[in-house]
Amino acid sequence: MSPSRNRRPKTAELLKAWESLDAGDVPGALRELRLGAEAAPLGEAALVVERAAGTAGFDDLREAAAALAANPDGGQELYDFGYACVERGLPYLAVPALREVLRQEPGALVVVRELVTAYERQGRHREAVEVLTRHESGFADWPDRYLLVHNAVMAGDLALANRQHALLPDPADPQWLPARDRQRRMLERAANAASVSPLDGSDLRGWQFVIGGTILGTLAPFGFRAGMTGRHAWVQDSHDQCLHGLLRLAALLGAAGIRPRSVSLLPDRGSQILGLAAADVLNLPAEPFAPGREDTVVIAYDLNELAEHDAGPQVLESLYERVPGQVLHEHASSWTDAPAVTADSVTLLHQSVVPPWGRRLRRRDDGEVEREPADDRPAARIADEIVAADPSPGEGDGETPADPTDRFTDFVAAVRGSWLRGERAHLSSSGPVPSNKFM
């Protein structure tokens, strides 16, 4: 099918998306669709998606959108469109189509599962719980009850998660065994963390541990009550903050009773710098990373930066499976673009970060802002400056809860029994604690 040259959407938000396509701006069109897709007539939205998908070369989505534009009420057309949107990373476009299919065909579990997938991809776990609970009478335990437990945890409803988990038998199909084991570990971590942490809607450290097994070293000092709840949006990092993170790592290892014998240096520049500093702070020898090495602390500055290195994908693959006594520490971890593997320890969560040796912004004497050149000095010299920095945390805006080291180590002591277990699986959700996200 080819897009109709004579048809244009009428809805205001969709017209804006259409105009973006006229200008050749597909990302801009998709942003406009994100703002208005759920309220827009499905046939009109499909016109825009058909054209955008054709420009992007997504033939499967283009064909599904064209079919829906031609028959906006067709159940199969709605489902095919929703499925293609999920596959192409546009779950917000899938939701209204799949909800309409489910209205037409109540109880269709194949539609329920696809709608749940669309909700999960957007972090809309409470809505996933609602639709799963509504269809519980027709459940298959695997995957449906498993999905209910998972989304209940991610929505912060541990009582529901534990009730449903108690009803979940072991899977007959061995393909579900890894998922069962991950879910059991998640609930065990929640039980440990609940003894020392509130696990409420603002308990970022507690929930990062529950959902990914990560112990979070610090909370962002700005915007906690203004929607960031401990995460950073854009952060210009400093030597001081790097040292503060390494001292938190040292406190973590001590409270957990971990006695590493070395620091392992990853190949990217940021990790080399921070790793050399960590070896000094921890008083351990530094050596190049080797897969399978036990009793070592692997230091990463930003695992997404490591992924861009030539050796990065292979290194990340080797870090997925846990090695006895190995601790993976990441200083600056993206919460909006989570890395392929989830670190055991993280200093801070960010959406965008400028490392201390990167091209930093500086205000000139005349008030203008300029970007400085990157610091290309040898890694060892920058590492020395980190070790000599001031680790005292900044004052911030005064709204972030106090986080003294003894409170941090009390948390570690309470959860150490369920830490460092299982694989380091990618985190597909930021969990129950919301934070503002900037486009």
| 141: phi then psi, degrees, rounded to nearest 5 | -60, -40
Close Cβ partners of 134 (under 8 Å, ≥ 6 residues apart)? none
Are residue 261 and residue 147 in the same domain, yes or no? Answer: no
Indicate the helix (H) or strand (E) that contains 329: strand 326-334
Decide if 428 is inside a domain: no
- The pLDDT tens digits of the residues spanning 18-77 come to 999 999 999 999 988 888 767 889 999 999 999 999 999 999 999 999 999 999 999 999
Give pLDDT, residue 1: 45
What number is the average pLDDT over the span 236-254? 98
Task: Flag whether 380 is in a domain.
Answer: yes
pLDDT computed for residue 27 by the predictor: 92
308, part of any domain: yes
* Percentage of the chain lying above the pLDDT 70 cut: 98
Confidence grade of residue 6 (pLDDT, cut at 50, 70, 90):
low
Helix axes 42-56, 12-22, angle to 10 degrees: 20
- Measured in whole angstroms, how far is the alpha carbon of residue 117 from the centre of its chain? 16
Q: Which two tokens stand for residue 338?
A: 């989570």
Shared domain for 127 and 216, answered yes or no, is no
Which pairs from 356-364 meet CB under 8 Å and 24+ separation? Answer: 356/237, 356/238, 356/239, 356/242, 356/382, 356/386, 357/269, 357/270, 357/273, 357/382, 360/236, 361/236
CA distance 73 to 101: 9
25-34, 86-95, 341-350, 374-383: least confidently modelled range: 25-34
d(CA 200, CA 202): 6
Q: What is the pLDDT of residue 439?
A: 62
Q: pLDDT tier at 12 (50, 70, 90 boundaries)? A: confident
159 and 51 in a single domain? The answer is yes
Compute the average pLDDT of residues 255-270.
Answer: 98
Residue 423: inside a domain, yes or no? no
Q: Which residue has the tokens 């799949």?
A: 98
Task: Give the CATH number for residue 132.
Answer: 1.25.40.10
- Residue 1 falls inside a structural domain: no
Average the pLDDT over 407-422 and give the result: 98
Instruction: Report the percentage of the chain scoring pLDDT > 90.
Output: 89
Question: In angstroms, rounded to a whole number, what is the distance separating the alpha carbons of residues 262 and 147?
Answer: 40
Q: Domain boundary residue among 165, 180, 195?
A: 180
For 89: left if phi > 0, alpha if psi spans -120 to 50, otherwise beta; the answer is left
Asked whether residue 4 carries a pLDDT value surpassing 70, the answer given is no
* Number of domains observed in the structure of the chain: 2
Q: How far apart are CA 326 and CA 298, in angstroms?
A: 7
SS3 of 344, please?
Answer: coil
Length of the chain: 439
In a domain, 426, yes or no: no
Is residue 296 located within the same domain as residue 369?
Answer: yes
Check whether residue 117 and residue 251 sit in a common domain. Answer: no
pLDDT, one tens digit per residue, over 132-180 is: 999 999 999 999 999 999 999 999 999 999 999 999 999 999 999 999 9
* Average pLDDT, rounded, for the chain: 95
Residue 213 and residue 131 share a domain: no
Q: Are residues 382 and 246 in the same domain?
A: yes
Cis peptide before 96 (omega within 30 of 0): no
Pair 251, 365 in one domain: yes
pLDDT at residue 394 in the model: 79
**Do residues 133 and 257 share a domain?**
no
Token pair, residue 49, equals: 């998606």
pLDDT in tens, 353-410: 999 999 988 888 777 788 899 999 999 999 999 999 999 987 899 999 999 999 999 9
Tokens, residue 424: 């380091």
Which secondary structure element, helix H or strand E, spans residue 369, and what is its range?
A: strand 369-371
- The CA distance from 439 to 437, in Å, is 7
Q: Over range 239-257, report the average pLDDT.
A: 98
Do residues 174 and 283 share a domain? no
- 34 and 94 inside one domain: yes
What's the CATH number where 290 sits?
A: 3.40.50.2020
Report the distance separating Cα 57 and Cα 88, nearest Å.
11
pLDDT tens figures, 177-203: 999 999 999 999 999 999 999 999 999
Range of the domain at 242: 204-418
C-alpha distance from residue 55 to each of 49, 62, 88 (Å): 10, 9, 14
In a domain, 195, yes or no: no
Residue 199 lies in a domain: no
Note whether 101 and 160 are same-domain residues. yes
Which pair of structure tokens corresponds to residue 101?
């299919």
Query: Helix (H) and strand (E) counts for the chain?
Result: 18, 10
Residue 318 exposure: Cα atoms within 13 Å on the Cβ side: 14
**Helix (H) or strand (E) segment spanning residue 265:** strand 262-265
Residue 118 reports pLDDT greater than 80: yes
Closest by Cα among 424, 253, 228, 184 to 335:
228
Is the Cβ–Cβ distance between 386 and 239 less than 8 Å? Answer: yes
From 3-17, 51-65, 298-312, 366-380, the region with the lowest mean pLDDT: 3-17
Q: Measured in Å, how far apart are the chain's first and last C-alpha atoms?
A: 33
Cβ–Cβ < 8 Å for 85, 30: no
Query: Which residues, in sequence order, are CB contacts of 306 under 8 Å at separation 6+?
Result: 266, 267, 268, 271, 300, 312, 315, 316, 339
Does position 422 have pLDDT exceeding 80, yes or no? Answer: yes
